[in-house]
Amino acid sequence: MPRKGEYLYCFTVPKELRDFRNWGEKTYGDLVKEKANFTETVCVWQAPSKDKDGNLEKDFYIAGFRGVELDFSVNISEAEKMILLLGPNKPPFEYIANLQKIVQTNYSENVSLILDQDFLTTNWQPSLLDNNNAISNFILSQLALTDQVVLIGPPGTGKTYQIAEICKRLCRQGKSVLVTSLTNRALIEVIEKPALENMLDEGKVFKTKISTDEAKEFPRLEQTKEVNPQPGNLVLSTFFIASSEAVNLTDKPPFDYVIVDEASQALLAMFGAAKLLGNKNIWIGDTKQLPPVVAINEDKVSKKNYDILVDGLKALSDTSSVPIFQLTETYRLPNRGSDYTGLFYNNSLKSKAKTDIRLSFPELPNDVNVFFNPQGGSTLIKTDLEVGNKKPKNALEIAKLLVAHLLTVNENLHISVLSNYIDTVKALQKSIYGSIDDPKNLLIETVARIQGLTTDITIFVIPNSGYNHSLEKRLFNVATSRAKRHTIIISDKNIISSYPHLDEDVKMYLQKLNDEYSFYYTTEKKLIESKTIEPKATQFEEKPEGQSGLKVLGKIDLSKFEKPKKEIIKGKENLYIIDTNVFVDCPEIISKIDKQYQVILSAKVIDELDYLKISLTEDQRKNVQKAIKHINESFDKRNIKMDTADLALLPNDFNKKSPDNFILSVALRYKSENPIMLTSDNGLQIKAKGLEITTITLKEFLNQRKY
């Protein structure tokens, strides 16, 4: 199943392949090659499907998607018996093929300017810019002296804002401008900026492949099927489509200016494509954030020197052959946040974030509020994490605790919970989504999928496994620079000392944070402040209060943040009455009910189970025998009571000989203590609900228990 918030590649296949029985030995890759129409789409919700009786289906889910392109939407709405295929949102093969053609057959002077360099790494220092420079004017003045410039934009420095301002100024001058980016999302962020509002009104903003949602949100946005320049107009297109246009060029560049957004995500050859498309180029990105993702082993990339071809912006920046400028004012990060993130940018970042943003949460309990530094920025929470375990129990508990607390304070907070491993993310999703109802602005995702994201609070979970990945410099920078208020890092207590190959900047970040604002969460769920000492293996268990620089802050109670079970009512005993059919399907059902709740067994259920031993299939008989054995054992282990029917409690219209009604009458005897009828029988459920008895099906109960 696709994850909520996951972007996917969606395509159709020719008529002859719409019946999966005709696929034969075809792989997913084979089907992609034979695709008819395609679109990018994003999963916005998912839910289990239900059968006609309202019971949850085991094998089917319903999912909702948005972001489908207009042309694709028309195509599938007109087709019969259409089958849609969903897969990873990887760059189309055509994109790579286009870039290959550009460097081989279109080996023009413009392309050679990109490819024929020495690529000798130099210790370059970009020229620093602040807003006193009137940045858009400054960049354009530089382009009067050269054909291309690089603009480095650290997190929150307003890269997209500057792109929109530059586009507005150039189009006012009657220039033709193309903005190209890896993702459709980045292009939409440009359109959203106020600088382009008048141009939208005037019908001067064009985009390839407009989606149904974009058409609704931006009704004045013009669609174009081709990347055609017009004086005074702006065209937006992804790398994939722009590269197709570049392949077919035989003459001089058609656009006056090409702006490459998300330039750190561009392969080297894409910069060649940009030179073919525009007389002047502006490359805007961040060499300290994630490079392009390629399906090649990292060791192979390094050994073959492919890193130059893959990490195009860094390769060009390192040669110092292009004028490079860097923005220095971040509007996202508070002062402490910019100080820490600034470690990756030679301490050049200054915070221009709003000073009235709320950074403290006094409503939180003291043992949780302490994590949130009054000045904002990062916090390190250390705990004991098992080596190699990508689903670390302590880290999951802490993350769930923090999210639950924060959403009780403000349900509108934008919170991201991040990790570098899919297994960790799935475990976090199961733990947190299962305990919190309808988290509106909560995203739980891998770091690789969220570059460009801005949140209020980020929780970064680092399992004690594969530190070479989790602590990779650029990935770590992305994970820890998303939040406007706080970044909480959850890791093993020995994270700094246990990985000898730690990048110097990452090491400096973690060491500084360890010394300045860190805590230790013990296996006994005690919270210890530890601002000066890196914990050793048993240090805290032996004498936590006696250590210099340590302070016991108290024991954390997680139980009150568990998702309440829908059938449980506070202030009531909450007795479970179990129907016969439940024992047949789940013989050990009693062991799955929390011991704090009493189980009442109707004598009729015991009688029915004993009778059913001779009237069911072999497998069912085995289940019944197991159930009877388990009931017998449970009488000795927990609070179980058998009770007989009281038919006088039933309404006069009810059949007094019905076994279901015998069981129902037992529930009616305990009505003041919220008896919970555990049954999958629709008829019994209706009767129980009509008599204001709480009901839950076996599927609902087991599904709820998973969390």
- Tell me the pairing of strands 599-602 and 329-330: unpaired
- Tell me the pairing of strands 599-602 and 526-530: unpaired
3-class state of residue 415 by DSSP: strand
Q: DSSP for 239-286?
A: HHHHHHHHHT--SS-SEEEEEETTGGGS-HHHHHHHHHHEEEEEEEE-
Give the dihedral sign, CA 163/168/169/175.
positive
Cα angle for residues 299, 300, 304 (degrees, 5° grid): 120
Which two structure tokens, joined as six digits, stand for 43? 């999963």
**Of 43-57, 199-213, 425-439, 688-702, which gets the smallest average pLDDT?**
43-57
Helix axes 659-669, 682-690, angle to 10 degrees: 40
Average pLDDT of every residue of the chain: 86
User: Binning pLDDT at 50, 70 and 90, where does residue 294 land?
Assistant: low
Q: Quick one: pLDDT at residue 537?
A: 36
Q: What is the pLDDT of residues 341-375, one digit of tens each?
A: 999 999 999 999 988 888 988 888 888 888 999 99
Q: Quick one: pLDDT at residue 571?
A: 81
3-class state of residue 353 by DSSP: coil
Q: Quick one: pLDDT at residue 163?
A: 96
**What average pLDDT does the segment 101-125 reach?**
74
Q: Quick one: pLDDT at residue 124?
A: 65
CA distance 612 to 614: 5
Give the max Cα distance, the chain: 97
- Helix (H) / strand (E) element for 28: namely helix 28-33
Q: Quick one: pLDDT at residue 296?
A: 57
* pLDDT over threshold 50, residue 546: no
Q: Quick one: pLDDT at residue 291?
A: 81
Q: Answer whether 483's CB lies under 8 Å from 509's CB.
A: no
CA distance 210 to 73: 11
**What average pLDDT does the segment 610-622 reach?**
73
Q: Quick one: pLDDT at residue 66?
A: 86
User: Binning pLDDT at 50, 70 and 90, where does residue 594 land?
Assistant: confident
* pLDDT over threshold 90, residue 390: yes
Q: What is the pLDDT of residues 8-53, one digit of tens each?
A: 888 898 888 888 888 888 888 888 888 888 888 888 887 777 777 7
